[in-house]
Structure 1
Amino acid sequence: MQSQNRKRAPVWTEQEVLDLIAVWGEEFMLSELHSKRQNAKTLQKISEATRDRGFSRDATQCRVNLKELRQAYQKTKESNGCSGTEHQKCRFYAELHAVLGGAATTTPPLSVDSDDGVLSAMPEDFVDGEDEED
């Protein structure tokens, strides 16, 4: 009988996440992610850029982490926008806000399609309905 346990990638270090967010937030990357429907090549570039910074993550690992970061940011932002609720914290909120929702940023947040690795622009008021099955 085969084991049901899947081999999991090592946990991302704080520095890896900060570097991933920095690469993701580069104007060139954001522009490329917004202008293309299929983003596998851009995700590969993000992976290569993090590799240049000394980390070994493939495009799929980057896509999954970007998706999780975006979801955590959006949930925190939505929760903190409701009066009467307890203030929520997101570990990399300030860095993510600079990429996804900063006042200086005029581009909408990004969505990562869980099936094919597509990152696409979304309106600010988008609710994460399509990703709940993950």
Structure 2
Amino acid sequence: ARTEAEADTALETKRKQVHDKQAAAREAKQRDVEQARRREVERKQAAVRDAEQRKQVAKKNADQLAAQRTRAAEAEHRAEQTELREAEKAAAVPAKAQLKDAANKQDEAADKRARADRAEKLAEAEKAKRRNETAANGQR
């Protein structure tokens, strides 16, 4: 009976050891699972943070590029406006000169007409004077 009692005790000890090992294994597995879950949550949070940072950087870059393009377009527009104003000024210079020449020619023509009219009146007056002299000489 003693060997049977020893065997029972040994068996009970073995069962307890196996049970303790199984419990320890379950606890270790549970810790591993919880640790894996925590790592996964941390990984997801890090991925979300990284994605948000990339999004902010991309937005900043896009905003900078848009601002740069806007500035370039505005500068080009200003350059075109300046070029147009200069072209208008350049085109206006000959036109002003032509207008001035035309005005001068009109003035000259008016002067010539006035001189011609005066000369014609003088000639008519001279002609009338001669007629009168001829008529006066003819009556004498």
Structure number, greater radius of gyration: 2
Taking structure 2 as the reference length, what is the TM-score of the superposition?
Answer: 0.20
Structure with bigger helix share is: 2
- Greater relative contact order (Cα 8 A, min sep 6): structure 1 or 2? 1
Taking structure 1 as the reference length, what is the TM-score of the superposition?
Answer: 0.20
Structure with bigger strand share is: 1
